[in-house]
C-alpha cells in the first residue's frame, strides 16, 4: 500500500528535514560509543577505587602498601563499536594469589626455611651455613588464605555500570538527533 496521491487536488508532499535526521542517526552511533566509553571508564575507576579502599587497606582484606599503587589494580576500556565495547577490570598476579589463596611448599619435600629481610633486600641462604643466615622460622609449608573479594565486588558493581552506559547511549542519541533537528528548525 503506497502513499495516497493528492496530485490531482494540487497538493504535494514535501519531507522537510529528512537528510538532517539521517545525519543525526549516523552521528548518534558515533556519540553513543564515545559516551559509553566514558561511562565504562568511570565505572572501572569506581571499581578500582572501591577495591583499594575496602580490600587493600587492612581487614577484612590485606594491608596493600605498594600494591595500592600502579597497575596492580587496573581498568581498561576496549572496543570501538556498539557491539564490542566494554571494560576490563583486573588485578595483578600477586593480588591474584591473595584472591584465590596459595600453598607454598619446598620442592624436595623437606622443610622451608623462612629468612629475615635486611634493609628490604633478601639475604641468600647458603646450605652449609645455617648458623650465619638469618632464619626466622622452619616449616613444612606456608598457606596464604584467600582474603580478597575482587571478583564478588566487580560482579556486584557490573550491572550498575552497564545500566549507566546504556543510559549514556540513549542520551547520546537524543543529543545527536536534537542537534541536527535544530538546524532544520533554524531553516524554517
Q: pLDDT band at 7, cuts 50/70/90? A: low
Q: pLDDT band at 13, cuts 50/70/90? A: low
Residue 161 has what pLDDT? 95
Does 32 reside within a domain? yes
Residue 186 has what pLDDT? 74
Does 41 reside within a domain? yes
Task: Count up the domains in the chain and report the number.
Answer: 1
Distances (CA, A) of 123 to 116, 117, 120, 139, 169: 8, 6, 9, 18, 56
Pick the more confident residue, 7 or 41.
41
pLDDT greater than 60 at residue 130: no
Does 123 reside within a domain? no
Does 139 reside within a domain? no
Full-model pTM = 0.74
User: To the nearest whole number, what is the mean pLDDT of the chain?
Assistant: 83
Question: CA 164 to CA 71: how far, in whole Å?
Answer: 25
Mean per-residue pLDDT, 7-17: 62
Give start and end residues of each alpha helix (H) in 6-112.
Answer: 18-55, 93-100
Q: pLDDT band at 125, cuts 50/70/90? A: low
pLDDT greater than 80 at residue 129: no
Question: CA 187 to CA 119: how far, in whole Å?
Answer: 75
Does 63 reside within a domain? yes
Domain that holds residue 64: 16-100+145-187
Share of the chain above pLDDT 70, in %: 81
Residue 124 has what pLDDT? 55
Does 7 reside within a domain? no
Does 156 reside within a domain? yes
Residue 14 has what pLDDT? 63
pLDDT greater than 60 at residue 153: yes
Amino acid at each position: 500500500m503506497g502513499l495516497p496521491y493528492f496530485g490531482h487536488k494540487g497538493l504535494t508532499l514535501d519531507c522537510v528535514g529528512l537528510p538532517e535526521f539521517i545525519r543525526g542517526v549516523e552521528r548518534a552511533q558515533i556519540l553513543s560509543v564515545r559516551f559509553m566509553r566514558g561511562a565504562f571508564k568511570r565505572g572501572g575507576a569506581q571499581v578500582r577505587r572501591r577495591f583499594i579502599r575496602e580490600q587493600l587497606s587492612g581487614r577484612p582484606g590485606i594491608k596493600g602498601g605498594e600494591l595500592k599503587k600502579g597497575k596492580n589494580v587496573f581498568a581498561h576500556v576496549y572496543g570501538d563499536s556498539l557491539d564490542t565495547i566494554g571494560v576490563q577490570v583486573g588485578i595483578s598476579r600477586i593480588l591474584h594469589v591473595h584472591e584465590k589463596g596459595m600453598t607454598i611448599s619446598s620442592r624436595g619435600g623437606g622443610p622451608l626455611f623462612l629468612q629475615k629481610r635486611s634493609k628490604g633486600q633478601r639475604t641468600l641462604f647458603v646450605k652449609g651455613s645455617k648458623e650465619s643466615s638469618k632464619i626466622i622460622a622452619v616449616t613444612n609449608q606456608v598457606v596464604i588464605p584467600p582474603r580478597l573479594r575482587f571478583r564478588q565486588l566487580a560482579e556486584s558493581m557490573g550491572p550498575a555500570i552497564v545500566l549507566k552506559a546504556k543510559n549514556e547511549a540513549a542520551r547520546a542519541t537524543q543529543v545527536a538527533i536534537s542537534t541536527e533537528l535544530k538546524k532544520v528548525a533554524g531553516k524554517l
